[in-house]
Chain A
Amino acid sequence: MHSASYRTNAILTMAFSGLVALCVAVSLTEVFHRSSPEASLKLHHVHYFRPSLVNNDEAVLSFNMKSDLSSCFSWNTKQLFAYIKVVYETDKHVRNEVTVWDKVIKTTEDHKVVDEVFLSKYKLVDNGAGLRGRDVNVTLAWNVMPYIGALYYQEKTFTAKLPSDYLVDS
């Protein structure tokens, strides 16, 4: 009844239950977190646009972004993974999503981008030759990644149009 094994068992069970309850409570607080992120994103310039050796359209873009994602941080937020995806439809594919830029936002300092022009990090590559004159959605999305609990996504979508001809001098 009062043996060492019983006492160890009781203490461990108690500690474990307490830890589980705490983890659940912390991850539930995220439900009540309200955020009001602001972002505007414009396609600034197309720097390179031509087919690759295997005839996949490739483009290098630059963007003009103004954003403030600071309100997405709650006390349980470890980091935001922000990324820009270009979403479009072609004859060969009913849905294409290509990431052209991403950034890990860790501190409350680097979540603000004020009127910054920057080059895409990855090329916009189509799986085919369907980018000329294409109307595309340019979406700034971010994945809110917690210290513990659920991962979730938010996004803001803007539109752009790609040039109707390849660039020759690039």
Chain B
Amino acid sequence: MGLFGEIVDELRGMSIRQFVSQVLGLALIVSSAFMIWKCLILATGSESPVVVVLSGSMEPAFERGDILFLYNGEKEVGTGDIVVFNLPGRDIPIVHRVLRMHKKSGEFDEGQQIDILTKGDNNYNDDRVLYDPGVDWIHEENLLGRAVGYLPHAGMATIYMNDYPMIKFLLIGFLGLLVVTSKD
């Protein structure tokens, strides 16, 4: 009965030609989503223009599961900016606020010109405890971008999907089936 029965019936009654056309439709949706993502990367200059907040270190401003939109433009990073950065050798980007910045005079390697120290609004201490031992500063090369937009709670689904991968596969499978069988 219900939704699932309908879908199965739909699949049974389909000709090969119909089936191929539906699969192509699905491929079109997936590739459009991919293209939109790539265009966002071009427009914002950030390799990851939308990120989900994973920790409570910026509370009460940002909670776990909130979405931030990043921009990585020409403007120099300054104290008070909320930046998203990757520490070398670690996969999970961190969202914290710039506490201190010192721009060196003279010539330096690309991305090394500015010394940056960060701190979470909700943390008592600055982030030197998070950086590798002996590392006092991060640099522009570590930055993914500055937070310019905020959308609450919308990233909660991503967190659930990361915590319980089964949900992800079920959801993708179900949506795929739905798209393949739907008639326009």
Contacts and interface: CB of A to CB of B under 8 A. Distances in A.
B177 to A, nearest CB: 10
Nearest to B101: A97
Given A4-B2, A85-B80, A97-B79, A151 B103 contact: no
A132 B147 CA distance: 35
Given A5-B3, A97-B101, A106 B149 contact: no
B66 to A, nearest CB: 10
A137 B104 CA distance: 18
A3 B7 CA distance: 11
Contact of B121 (A23, A81, A122, A125): A81
Secondary structure call for the A interface? strand
A166 interface: no
B78 interface: yes
Interface of A: 3-5, 8-9, 23, 78-79, 81, 83, 85, 87, 91-99, 102, 104, 106, 122, 125, 127, 141, 143, 145-151, 153
Given A81-B121, A146-B150, A151-B149, A98 B104 contact: no
B100 to A, nearest CB: 5
A106 B60 contact: yes
A120 to B, nearest CB: 13
Most B C-beta atoms less than 10 A away, residue of A83, A91, A97, A145: A97
